[in-house]
Amino acid sequence: MSLPPKRFALGSQQSAETLELAAVKGRSLWDDARRRLVRNRAAMASIIVLGLLLLVAILGPLLAPFPYDQVNKTDTWAAPLQQGHVLGADALGRDLLSRIMVGLGVSLLVGVVATFVSLVIGVAWGATAGYIGGRVDELMMRIVDVLYSLPFIFFVILLMVVFGRNFILLFLAIGAVEWLTMARIVRGQTMSLKEKEFVEAARAAGVSGFGIVARHIVPNLLGPVVVYITLTIPGVILAESFLSFLGLGVQPPMASLGTLVSYGASYMELTPWLLIFPAITMVVTLMCFNFIGDGLRDAIDPKDR
């Protein structure tokens, strides 16, 4: 009389184990990567903080008590929490909090747009060179080496002098330089992927070279490309900040974090808050991107940890 319950319990245990194994086998690599990313506390905290900063950059200027470019001579050099200015005011009486929120949005926009430009150029260049190979690959990568030999800032300044110091051209100038490392990474990955079985099968099925690159190779490059994007954005923000120190960045009355830090550094002995608050905002933003990039790298390829 006791055998059927035992058989039933044994069968239930085997069924549960079978379902668990099926769930594990059915889990995709992206599901595993997402689970590892969620377990990374630093990356998840950075995603939350970066999301809040993005909301501040989008909604903050609309809710700010003062326009970012409003000049008020009676509020000149106002300290934090004085005359209605939460973070103080600058030499023209412009509200620092409003300018930080606008500057944060501009810096994020510069980072995202310039990175997108570098992504398009770098992926197209690297995937083409890696897939075709031979003399074409040698020629294309020698061009990359020549551009690498040019000083970064000199090349950006040259582009901005030739095309003018336009707000939009600033994105293109920085993005036109940042694509070099992306091209090398994509080329190396493409040379490895083009020998895989699925690429050979597509080639045997008569798929064109462009179709193989667009539909089979580039989608399999998303892992390292996404990681590199998160690490490129803070580099672009720092590049724009350095250009702002040279007077080639965002032009007034528009502001970016770089221009605010540069302006605050000029008066840091008299009004240190003009430097401290923009610098803290920039540091927090860059740290968030770096932690997210590290978390994505560990999640996509845990062997690198």
Determine which of 23-27, 64-68, 229-233, 254-258 has the lowest per-residue pLDDT on average.
Answer: 23-27
pLDDT at 130 over 70: yes
**pTM for the full model?**
0.81
The residue-averaged pLDDT of 288-300 equals: 87
pLDDT at 84 over 60: yes
Q: How confident is the model over 217-252, as pLDDT tens digits?
A: 888 887 788 888 888 888 888 888 887 777 777 777
Task: Write the single-letter amino acid at 19.
Answer: L
pLDDT at 301 over 70: no
Minimal CA–CA distance to 285: which of 245, 248, 237?
A: 237
The residue-averaged pLDDT of 128-155 equals: 86
Determine which of 44-58, 100-114, 207-221 has the lowest per-residue pLDDT on average.
Answer: 207-221
Tell me what pLDDT residue 27 has: 57
Tell me what pLDDT residue 7 has: 46
Its CATH class, for the domain covering 32-66+84-304, is mainly alpha
Q: What is the 3-state secondary structure (H, E, C) of the chain?
A: CCHHHHHHHHHHHHHHHHHHHHHHHHCCHHHHHHHHHHHCHHHHHHHHHHHHHHHHHHHHHHHCCCCCCCCCHHHCCCCCCECCECCCECCCCCEHHHHHHHHHHHHHHHHHHHHHHHHHHHHHHHHHHHHHCHHHHHHHHHHHHHHHHCCHHHHHHHHHHHHCCCHHHHHHHHHHHHHHHHHHHHHHHHHHHCCCHHHHHHHHCCCCHHHHHHHHHHHHHHHHHHHHHHHHHHHHHHHHHHHHHCCCCCCCCCCCHHHHHHHHHHCCCCCCHHHHHHHHHHHHHHHHHHHHHHHHHHHHCHHHC
Tell me what pLDDT residue 127 has: 92
Best-predicted range by mean pLDDT (29-43, 100-114, 163-177, 193-207): 100-114
Best-predicted range by mean pLDDT (46-50, 118-122, 289-293): 46-50
pLDDT band at 29 (very low <50, low <70, confident <90, very high): low
The residue-averaged pLDDT of 181-207 equals: 87
Instruction: Kindly report the average pLDDT of the chain as a whole number.
Output: 82
The residue-averaged pLDDT of 168-178 equals: 77
The residue-averaged pLDDT of 69-96 equals: 91
pLDDT band at 20 (very low <50, low <70, confident <90, very high): very low
Tell me what pLDDT residue 175 has: 81
